[in-house]
Each structure stands twice: as structure tokens, then as C-alpha cells.
Structure 1
Amino acid sequence: MRLIPLTFSGLLLPLLLSPVATKAGGAAPKYAVADLPAALRENAHAVVRRQDELLTVKSVSRTVETVHRATTILDEAGSRWAAELVYYSQLNHINYFRGAVYDANGRQLRQLRGQDIRDISLSDGFSLATDARGRVADLSQPTYPYTVEFEYEVVSDNPLFYSTWQPQPVEQLSVEQATFRVMMPAGMALRYQESHLPAGTTPAALGAGAYAWEVHNLAAREEEPDGPSVAELTPAVFTAPAQFEVEGHAGQLNSWADLSRWTYELNAGRAELPPALVAGMQALVLGETDERARIRKVYKFLQANTRYISVQLGLGGWQTFPAASVATNGYGDCKALTNYCQALLGAAGIRSHAALVRAGSDEQDIRTDFPSSQFNHVVLCVPLTQAARADTVWLECTSQTNPFGYMGGFTGNRHALLLLPEGGRLIATPRYGAAENRRERQADVFLDAGGNATATLRTLRTGLEYDAVAGLPGLELSEQKKYISNRLALPNFTLTKVAFQPLPATAAVPGLRETLALTLPALAPPSGKRVFLTPNLLSRLPTPAATVGERQSEVWLDHAFTQLDTVRLHLPASLQPEQLPAPVRLSTPFGTYSSQLLALPDGTIRYVRRLEMPRTRFPRTDYPAYLEFRRKVATADKMQLVLLKTDA
């Protein structure tokens, strides 16, 4: 699986997460920092002084987006706003890109010049449409504060993507003034969804086909522990067409079925395979009665005989290469490889459906209540017909190494849109909860009388816990040791052995067994007659920061997991436990926890810890109770075992 950060390609244009532009001109000072209200400087690294966005819909096949933004950068942490990236592609071209920079008193220092603008590729390695490029300009200054002003206009012949207006997308950014206007031609309707607008904010009446929104004096916000991002909480307006046309292919977009039908029809008739390959697929599954095993064989063939390459241009961001082309060349983009796998399965007598999904390990799910183009990837959905209950196999077709049927953090736990001739529907991709996302560790620690130790750690990680370590077996030993050493929360140790063993391919979710051997000098040095040792070597859960003032956001627990630790302490005869701490058991809506120390008949001491956390959300008023649960867990995790030296 490609764990590649999501970048905004032509598919997602225009989702603006950087400053906007204006034409530099006139000698009169403007944007003086002294004019800023004190409330907008509080907790802010940058202030949007003025942001004006205009979406002009010319027709069903063309839109024009004009953006103007001036941003005062208060300190180095806000310097990201000194640069502006404008996206373009075969279907989107830039009319102009201008800018200027001003000192703290509002005097213009210089204008943006042509040689200041760089042209870069924006391919992200997995997206539906990756022919996107960008022009980027940086007006950073060595002395703070200063103000940058950018202005640009983009003409798009891909009107599937109307503007998203989000003037305050990140924390520690305040907004003095921001406006958003949309101009629609006669006979065309605008579809929009508002989110977190200030009370009383409604589209201004500008006449038929004209809409406008405006906000003022938005104080900077800070993200709170275990809460949503600021982008989920600040004002936004999402827009989408009701009808559109891309390079002569017209469609409706009033429902998910509309988008599904248009995409399906665009790619219909491209699944024909060479006769020899059809015969090969039939032979591959001949005699195999288990449906899942037949799918696995075809998927294994796909992975062994294809590779991902991004080759889409223009409409190719949506329309796949024919399956025969992939059969001949052995490569394709996500659409082409998914279409090819669908054709291979069809040759083997197995029905499947392509599905659009928003991919990205850090991505939130789509807005399911606002049908619009929110996707950047294609996967394959294979309904099982022989299962005792309704079941589905999901296939990531762009990776040569992805475990069979596993979506992971890249495309799991979200919604995908099935592409069907009659119009598809949203369907949930595989859900990975606490039962699937497990980390089970067994440790044997041999302590000597001087407090030095050796240890063997055997760890199994499954589900989303597996994602972070999936690539380790393929690394050189030195790289494996470097990665592991950076993640082991031990003050002083030496790795003497590293080994990995994957779970069998038939496991319900993929997993990796890791075996480590370590030396731990001065793990528990004696202090007089006593030795103090924390049995929980590696699984201490930190306490989240307390909220300053009243909590503003909900509690979002987005990663469910189960941790199970068993540590066996092998002690020398000269050390005996003075007293074992009492067991700890916690059961709350936020999670369950238990830990216990037991003295065993063979003279060893066994420590057992179990923590399970759900994937769920709670109202902000529950944060104190959640914080108390986390504090109790952190306290229990630091529990010390006191050993007495019997030979002292």
C-alpha cells in the first residue's frame, strides 16, 4: 500500500489551503500592522487581512475562479503564508498570478516578478487525476512582521469541482475580513452546503444567480487534545454543480447515483481482454471451489504482473485506459489497474465493481450528506456470493505488496461510491476497530543484582497497528535497527537481534510478528537496600494536556486499538519483592484498562496490562471525565515495583 500524503491535484481543485493574491500597485501604505485589532493578534502566527474569492460559472463546461488575499505574517511560525501555490492542469489554466510584499508600516517592499515563480509537478502517486502542476511563489522576508498579497485567476474546463470557501483552515490563523461570491448563469442552479458560519450569516441577495458570504474578525483558534482539526470547526461553504460537462461528456450531480452513473458510463466498454489472457484466467481458477481463494489467485496475478504509473491527462483523470492496454504494457494508473483487475475477475467468472474513495492516511471521510466530487482514488469492491452472510472483498489494485483484502488506514473506515450502470450508492469500506487494531507484546526481562538486564520482546501488530511497520521486513538490517531504536521508549539499550515474521495470508487482518533481543544496562540501579523497577517498559500512555479555560470542541477518539502486554521478570535470588502494588481496573465509556503484578511459584514476577480504546466521539462536556480516565491510566502505567536486596 502506498502510504503517500494526500496532495491536492487537479481532482480536488480548488480546495485552497494557502494565502491568496492581489495586484501590487500604488505607493500609499496599506495593511499596516498597527491597524490590526489586538484580539486578532492573540494566539496568532498570521492574520488574513483581506480575502476575496469569486467563482464565476460561465457554463456547464467552464468556471473561472478569482482569488485575492493579503496576509500579515507575525512571526517565523506563520511564514508558510508567505508562499502561494496555484494549481493548473490540462483542464485548468492560470490567467494571471501577481503579488507584492509590504513592511510592518504598510510600505511596499517589492512586487512579485516572473523569475520568482517556480513551476512544479504535483503528482501524488495514487490519485485519479495526477497531471496537475503548480506555480509557486515565495515572498518571505527576514524581518517580522510583514504582509504578503497575492492575486490569481484560474479558468477551468473541469466544472466537476466548484470552489470550497474556508478562510480559516488551520489553527493560530485569524481573519480580519473574508468574502466569497458565486455568479451563476441563467438557468443553472448552485448547490451549496454551509458549515459553522457565524450566527446570522446567510447568502446575501445579489440578484438572480448571485450569492455572497462574508465573515469578519475571526479570532485565532488552537486545536485541542483529542479533538477535531480547526478546519472541521471554522466557517466554510462547499459548492457543487447540479449539471456539468467535461470535454463533451455531460452529467448531472444532484445525487450520488448521478455521479456514479456518469463515471461508470465514461469508463464503460474498456474491459475487453486478449483471448489468451481470458483463457489463462479461466485456467488459473479451474477446480478451485472457494470463492475467496479464486479472487486471491487473480489478485496475486495482478500484483505479480503490473505496476502503478501515473499517465493521466485531461479527461484521462477520469477515463481509464482499456484493459487490453494494461495487459500489453503491464502498467496503469489507479483507474486502469482497477479496471484491469475487474476484467481479470470477470474472465474468471467473478463479478466486481469499481468504487471511488478518498484516500489518504490522514484524511477524514467524505461529507456523505453533500453529493459532490470528493474522491481522489479508485479501488475494487468484490461482493461474495457464496458467503453465509453478506460479505465483500476490497482490493487495492495499485500496490504489488498490499495484503489481500486489506484497506488499512489508507482507504479503510470511510465511504466509497460504487460505480454501477444504474447509478451506485455509498458503501462503507472495511472498518478497523479495537478488535482488529491490536498490539500484543510478550517480554522476558532478566535482571542481575547490579540492576542491569537483558530482554527478549515478541510483539504482534495487526490491522492499523500493522500499517506503521508493514515495510520493515523489506529494509536493510541497519535501517530496521534505526527505525526500531527511534521508537523504543527506553533510556539506554542495545539491539542484539531483530527478526520479523508476517501472519499467514489467510489471517482475518494482516499482522507482523517482531522479535527483538536487547541489553539494558542500568535498567534498575540499586538505591541502598532497594531496587526500583517500572514493569511497564514500553506501553506508557501519556496524559493529554488539560484544556486552558472551557473546552470548545468535542472529544474525537478516531483510532481504536487494543494493547496487551505480558512482562515476565526473572530476578536474581538476592532480590525479592517488598510488596506488590494493588491491581488496577478501570471501565469507562472512553476505554477499559487493567494492570496487575503476580508473584509466580517459579520465583518470577508477571506483569499483565490491557488497554482498549474505542473509535467514537463524545460531547465537549465529557472531556474532564476523559482526562481523568487518561490520568489514572498514566499513573497506573508508571507504577513501580520495589525489590529488596536480601544479601545487603
Structure 2
Amino acid sequence: MVKITKVCYLLFLVVTFSFSQENLLTSLTLPDHLTKNANAVLRYENLDVVINAVDNVTFTEKRIITVLNESGDYLVQASAGYSKHFKIKKIEAVVYNALGSEIKKFKKKDFIDHSAVDGFSIYTDSRVLFMGYTPTTYPYTVEFDLEIETSNSAGLPSWSPITNYYFAIEKSSYSLTDNANLGLRFKEKNINGFKIEKNTTTNTLNYTLSDMKALKPEDLSPSFENFTPHVLVAVDNFQYYGVLGTAKNWLEYGDWVNNALLKGRDAVTDETKQKILELTANISDPIEKAKKIFQFVQNNTRYISVQIGIGGMQPISALEVDQVKYGDCKGLTNYTKALLNIAGVESYYSIVQAGRDIVDFETDFASLAQGNHIILAIPKADNDLIWVDCTSQVHPFNFIGEFTDNRNVLMVKPNASEVVKTTMYPDSLNAQITNAEIKILNDGSMSSVLKRTTYGTQYDNRFTLERESDKDIKEYYKEHWDYVNSLDVEQYKFNNDKNRVVFEEDLKVSARNYAKITGDRLFMTINAFNKNTYVPKRYVSRKLPLEIQRGYLDEDSFVYQIPEGYKIEALPKNVTIKNKYGVYNVAVKFENSKIYYHRKLQINSGTYPKSEYDEYRDFRKQVAKNDNSKIVLKKSS
């Protein structure tokens, strides 16, 4: 009787799960509150990681996702990368219509198989299987099953259930079991405030997130990674491509990277070695040597985009880069490091989480899951560091810009690896200085000669103009100054001073209808070339803190020559606004038939509670209002 009862109970569980799963395959069962603001809904996800041995790990994933509209297609992500060290044991997908009826089934043989980096022979081992499906109707649901087996226990998948805005989650689960007792470590981030159930032991982790409404982006909010839940995972002892390693902290991790991944990969051809020695023969300053070598790499190699996880974590050898003249961030950084070593210049391979959003390494938790890019640190005599991105063929030496600035990274040094912060560009040095002489004619037209100079992160946003076509350059200015009617860019000249990291634009422009004629009056905006009308969005109920990741400074000096026979009827008033968010100052005067306009806007970086968002928004509204102020000229009687 007991056996029959157990059999009935197990049968009940199977039937219940089957019925529950069928409910997830139709969009008709979607809760209304999960479809609000959502492009897709994750109905069910379970990622199960089992460490069987230091050289045997399995990942089993089941995911059911309902796509509500075209904008949600990319969230399906029915794909998997593989190589000789990552074997796909199972990959299947089934597509269902809104009623839960099967549309199409994909077995492993039906997935499209292609190289992860097409056309580059050094990465032929890295490939991707992906489901090639083009939806014809919405909503539709995809059920995806994946099982991977790997001999690498070094880079275990962390749990990040919320991956995108406009993406709701019905249920997402993660489990990890360390049967090999490798020293499981984990760190929770931003767990509180979400419907998360967890159960952890020495060797197991279990997390489930349920009933998560779709998030909408908010202006000036923290980086997505800094407010959504994550569980970082690592083991103290691991194997990577047949090499055993131990890393309980960043010092040990850095030693492992140096000894297991970089050591013995710095040889180049004798010809290149001789070139480097000749290139630096008459230079004594190591920083000047580094600059020459950095420029040599820029002129003789090209970058191909390959994520750290593809092709492995180990860079291709410097010799391979030397021969093929291309590489990813790992390969080009290692190559540059090797060339610097030939010239006797010390440098450090550094791992960073790159992107416009600033995301730090966790100083108290070492893991291989952190980081998506490699840059190079070069020490100076004063113990400061110069940072270079060896993948860029256009950036100046010692300028990394917004892609990797102001964040904690791992700097790999022999027996002394540490987490350090990259260059922070001060708000006041992220500057744009504009000077213009503007002549207004009595038909409302305008002609101007102006000079605009940018520094810091504003340089980063401007200097690539010099590489654009004539057509694109003129189109850029017309869009940039779209509030100037009938703008014509007559002449332009650029000076990109890479030594000073300064970009200068000299322009001659005109506009037929700059001023509006009404009777015997001319009306025109006083801020001709830097009108800032940006006002952050209004939120009835702001959810996130206010964060200004990078500040900047704009200074403008414009001199207007008014047409003969006109006098000033109205000028904007002088304005001074100063608060914790920045400074806005405008000074206007009329003298000798000329209007002198000086403007300063400084926005300060910082993080503030969400309760202050409206205050900052009011500040920007005042800036926008004053930037749109008008001059009124009247014909003299």
C-alpha cells in the first residue's frame, strides 16, 4: 500500500508539472501585471550547474519565454557557444503560437552553426549554434533546452535573472552543486527588495526570483548592473584548459593569470624585435618609448571584436599577432606588452568591465566572471599609471575615454596583482569652449566664424569627426544645430592634437532665416551654437536614485554684430544659478553696436537620492528656458 501511494504521488507530481508547463506555453495564461511595459516575459527558467569534478562541470538550462512584440525578439537568445572544451550535449527548441500549439521544432541538427569570429583563422575552434527563426505573428512562445559539459571549472556562470529593461519574469531559478568540494564562494548583490527565495549551504546554492514586473529605464539612473540582483559565483580550486589553478582573492587570481595565461606568450619575430629597438634607440624616457610603441601597434595591427569568453581567456601569442597583424583585446594587449618589454618598459595586463556605464570590479570577491575587456597599465616614475586601450587605432596615447574610465579593474602584476581605479576625468576638464563672431543682416540671415575646442570626455565624443566624409560632417552639424534654420556649413577645418588630447573645430557657417522678421522687429535666439534644451523626463513615481556618472563644463563666448538701422528693444537678463548639481551663468551686454554673450554651464557628477530628482530636473528646466531666451531688435525710427 505504501509503495502504491508513493507511485501515485510521483505520478501526481509529473502530471502537475506537465499541466503547469502546458500553461506556460500559451500567452493566454500570462498575468496582466507581467505584460505591462513588457516586450517579452520569461515564463520559466532553470539553470542548474553541477560540479562533478575539477575537470567536469555540467550546465543544464530550461527556458520558456513569451515574446509579445518585435522589440522582444532579441530576448529569446536560443543559442549556445561551443569549442573543444565546451561540448553541447543537448540543444533543442520548440516555437508555439499564442494558443500553445506547436509551430516549429528545432533539434540540434536544425540549429545554424557558424564560427564565432568569421574569417579569422586563429579563432576557428570557437563556434556558435543558434536558432534561425523569423516570427510572423505575435505573441509567440519559445521553449529552449540546453545541456553543456565542460572540463573547465574556472568560469562558472553567475546568476543575473533580470537581464534587460521591458522584460518581465514569472519565475527564474538558479542552482549550483559543488560535488567536488572545490571551495565554493559566492557574493550577493542587490538581493533585497525583490521576490527572491534562497537556500545556501557550504556546497550548494539555490535562488528563485518570482513575479517580477518589467522595468522601465529612467533618465540619469545608476548602471543596470548596480541595482538589479546578482549572485557572483566562484570556486577556490579549478581547472582551465587542463591547467589546475587556485585563486581565493585577487592577488592569487592575478598570479594565476600571469603564470597560466600570459607566461611564455611574449615572443615576436626577430625582425619586429629589431624594429622596436631601432624605434626607441634614441629615446631615454620610458613613457616616450611607450608612446612610440603604442603608435607602432596602432599603425601595424587591427582589432577584431571577440568577447573574453570566446576563444578562451588566454590571449593568442604575441608571435601570432605579429604574423597575422590582428587580434582581439587580449591578443593586442599582450602583443603591446611584449613590445614594451623589448624596449625595457614595464606594463601590466589589466582586466576591466568596459562600457559607457561605469561598473566596478568587486574588491572583496575575486571571480573570472567579472570583466569583458583588456587594457594596459604603464607605471610612471611618480607611481601614477598611464592607461592605454590597445584595440583603438585612433585614440591618443594615455587617453581611454568613456569606455573604461573611472572604475575598479584588476591590474595583473607578478606577485603583486591588485584592484586599482582607472583614470577619472574631472568634471571641469571635460570641457567644451566655443567662441563665435556672428553677423546678423537686416533680412534675418546670419553668418558666423566660430571655433570650438573640446577636452576630456567631450574630446572623446568629438574627435572622430575628422574621419568622416564631407557629406557626413555637414550632416552632423545640421543635426547638431537643428534649431538653426537653413544652416549651411561653408567651411570647416579640424585639428586633432593627440599630444594635448584636444580637438579643435574651425568653422564658417551661415543661415538664411536665423532671425524671424515681424513687422519692424527681428527676433532671434541668443544662444546660437550651444542651446541646451535637455530636460530629464518627468516621473510620477521615480523608482531609482539620480546618478550623473560624468560631469562636464561648457563655456561659450559669442559676439553679435547687429544690422545697421536697428536698435536693441529687449535683451535677456543676466542669470546666475548655483547648486550641488552645477553652475549656470549668463552675462549679456550691448556695446558699440555689438551684443556680448557669455555663458557657462557646469554639470557636476554625483549620486543623489531619488527624492532630489525633481530638484535637478527644475535646474535643467531653468537652463533650457534661459538658453532659449530671445533678442529683440527694432528698426530705428
TM-score, scaled relative to structure 2: 0.88
**Deviation (angstroms), 1:321:** 4.6
Specify which of 362, 376, 382 is matched with residue 380 of structure 1: 376
Question: Which residue identity lines up with residue 561 of structure 1 in the other structure?
Answer: Y
Going from structure 1 to structure 2, the CA distance change for 1:27 and 1:156 (only over 3 Å counts) comes to closer
Which residue of the other structure, out of 61, 70, 77, is the alignment partner of 1:76? 70
Residues 292-340 of structure 1: CA deviation (Å, up to 9, x unaligned): 3333233333334444467999996333455455556555443343334
Deviation at 1:355, TM superposition (A): 1.8
Query: Does residue 211 in structure 1 map to residue 208 in structure 2?
Result: no
CA gap of 1:112–1:26, structure 2 versus 1, over 3 A, is: farther
> Does the 8 A contact of 1:129 with 1:317 survive in 2?
no
Q: Does 1:634 align with 2:624?
A: yes
Q: Residue 12 of structure 2 aligns with which residue? A: none
1:139-158 matches, cutoff 5 A: 139-158=133-152
Residue in 2 that maps onto 1:545: 537
- Per mean C-alpha deviation after superposition, the further-off stretch among 82-91 and 251-260 is 82-91
SS at match of 1:382: strand
Q: Is the 8 A contact 2:446 2:514 kept in 1?
A: yes
**What is the CA-CA distance between 1:226 and the residue it aligns to?**
0.8
CA distance, structure 1, for counterparts of residue 41 and residue 415 of structure 2: 48
Alignment of 1:33 onto 2:27 = yes
Deviations 1:375-407 (A, max 9, x none): 23332221112xxx4322223233333311111
Structure 1 position 255, deviation (Å): 0.8
Q: For residues 411 and 119 of structure 2, what CA distance do their matches in structure 1 show?
A: 22
Say whether the 8 Å CA contact 1:357–1:375 is kept in structure 2. yes
1:492 is matched with 486
User: Which stretch shifts more, 28-37 or 427-436?
Assistant: 28-37
Amino acid of the residue matched to residue 224 of structure 1?
A: E
Partner in structure 1 of residue 548 of structure 2: 557
Give the superposition deviation at 1:517. 2.0
DSSP 3-state at the match of 2:199 = coil
Q: Which moved more, 1:609-618 or 1:194-203?
A: 194-203
Q: 2:585 matched to which residue of 1?
A: 594
Higher relative contact order (CA 8 A, sep 6+): 1
Does the C-alpha gap of structure 1 residues 399 and 598 become closer, same or farther in structure 2, counting only changes over 3 Å? same
Partners of 1:130 and 1:520 in 2: how far apart? 55
Question: 2:629 is matched by which residue type in structure 1?
Answer: M
Shift of 1:208: 6.4
Larger CA deviation: 67-76 vs 265-274:
265-274
Aligned with 2:346: secondary structure?
A: coil
Q: Which amino acid aligns with 1:84?
A: A
> Which amino acid is the alignment partner of residue 514 of structure 1?
E
User: How much has 1:220 moved relative to structure 2?
Assistant: 1.9
Are residues 1:448 and 2:448 paired? Answer: no
2:220 to 200, 223, 226: 226
Match in the other structure for 1:618: 608
SS of match in other structure, 1:164: coil
Q: Is the 8 A contact 1:24 1:99 kept in 2?
A: no
Structure 1 equivalent of residue 9 of structure 2: none
Q: How does 1:259-338 map to 2 (within 5 A)?
A: 259-266=253-260, 267-272=262-267, 281-308=276-303, 317-324=312-319, 326-327=321-322, 330-338=325-333
How far did residue 451 of structure 1 move? 0.8
Measured in 2, the distance between the counterparts of 1:469 and 1:136 equals 37
Q: How far, CA to CA, are the matches of 1:454 and 1:213 in structure 2?
A: 65
Query: How many residues get paired?
Result: 615
Deviations 1:446-490 (A, max 9, x none): 111111112223211222222233332233322322333333323
Aligned with 2:198: secondary structure? coil
The aligned runs of 1:194-593 (5 Å cut-off) are 194-198=188-192, 201=196, 203-204=198-199, 209-266=203-260, 267-272=262-267, 281-308=276-303, 317-324=312-319, 326-327=321-322, 330-362=325-357, 364-373=359-368, 374-385=370-381, 389-490=382-483, 491-503=485-497, 505-507=498-500, 510-537=501-528, 538-549=530-541, 551-593=542-584
- Whether 1:48 and 2:42 are equivalent positions in the alignment is yes
Q: By how many angstroms is 1:543 displaced?
A: 0.8
592, 601, 606: which one aligns with 2:596: 606
**Structure 1 runs not aligned, ≥5 long:** 1-22
Q: Using the alignment, how far apart are the partners of 1:129 and 1:162 within structure 2? A: 22
CA change 1:286–1:520 in 2 (3 A) is same
Which SS does the other structure have where 2:626 is aligned?
helix
Structure 1: how far apart are the matches of 2:87 and 2:538? 48
User: Alpha-carbon deviation of 1:97?
Assistant: 1.7
Aligned counterparts of 2:152 and 2:104: Cα–Cα separation in 1: 35
Q: 1:642 to 1:90 in 2, by over 3 A?
A: farther
Change (3 A) 1:451 1:70: same
CA contact (8 A) 1:91 1:314 kept: no
| CA-CA distance at 1:265 after TM superposition | 0.5
Query: Which deviates the most, 563-572 or 638-647?
Result: 638-647
**2:342 counterpart letter in structure 1:** A
Q: Say whether the 8 Å CA contact 2:431–2:454 is kept in structure 1.
A: yes
**Paired residue type of 1:546:** R
1:221 touches 1:230 (CA, 8 Å); kept in 2?
Answer: no
- The aligned counterpart of 1:59 is 53
Name the residue aligned to 1:14: none
For each residue in 1:588-625, what CA deviation from the matched residue of structure 2 results, as whole angstroms up to 9, or x when unmatched?
Answer: 11111112222133x11121111111222111121121
Give the drift of 1:279.
6.0
- Deviations 1:55-75 (CA, angstroms, capped at 9, x unpaired): 112222332221111122233
Aligned twin of 1:88: 82
Letter in 2 for 1:596: A
Q: Is the 8 A contact 1:271 1:322 kept in 2?
A: yes
TM-score, normalised relative to structure 1 = 0.86
Could you give the per-residue CA deviations for residues 208-250 of structure 1, whole angstroms, max 9, x where no partner exists?
6332111221122211111135554333322222221112222
- Deviation per CA, 1:146-176, whole angstroms, max 9, x where unpaired? 3222111222333322112222222222211
Q: Is residue 130–residue 313 contact of structure 1 (8 Å, CA) maintained in 2? A: no
From the superposition, tell whether residues 221 and 347 of structure 1 become closer, same or farther in structure 2 (CA, over 3 Å): closer
Which amino acid in structure 1 is aligned with residue 459 of structure 2?
Y
Structure 2 distance, partners of 1:68, 1:535, is 60
Report the secondary structure of 1:50's partner residue.
strand
8 Å Cα contact 1:459-1:513 kept in structure 2: yes
Q: What is the rounded CA distance, in whole Å, between the counterparts of 2:162 and 2:348 in structure 1?
A: 38
Answering whether residue 96 of structure 2 is matched by residue 102 of structure 1, we say yes
2:58 and 2:611 map into 1 onto residues whose CA distance is 44
Per the alignment, in what secondary structure is the counterpart of residue 169 of structure 2?
strand
Query: Are 1:187 and 2:178 an aligned pair?
Result: no
Alpha carbons of structure 1 residues 498 and 113: separation in structure 2 relative to 1, 3 Å = farther
Conserved? CA contact 2:90–2:108, under 8 Å: no
* Contact persistence 2:232–2:367 (CA under 8 A): no
User: For 2:70 and 2:300, how far apart are their aligned partners in 1?
Assistant: 49
Q: What is the distance in 2 between the residues matched to 1:177 and 1:620?
A: 29
Inter-CA distance 306–542: structure 2 relative to 1 (3 Å threshold): closer
The whole-number CA distance in structure 1 between the counterparts of 2:84 and 2:19 is 31
Instruction: Give 5+ residue unaligned stretches, structure 2.
Output: 1-16
Secondary structure of 1:238's counterpart equals strand
Matched-pair contact (CA < 8 Å) for 1:358–1:375: yes
SS in 2 for 1:536: coil
Mark the CA change 1:234 to 1:296 in structure 2 (over 3 Å): closer, same or farther: closer
What displacement does 1:93 show? 2.7
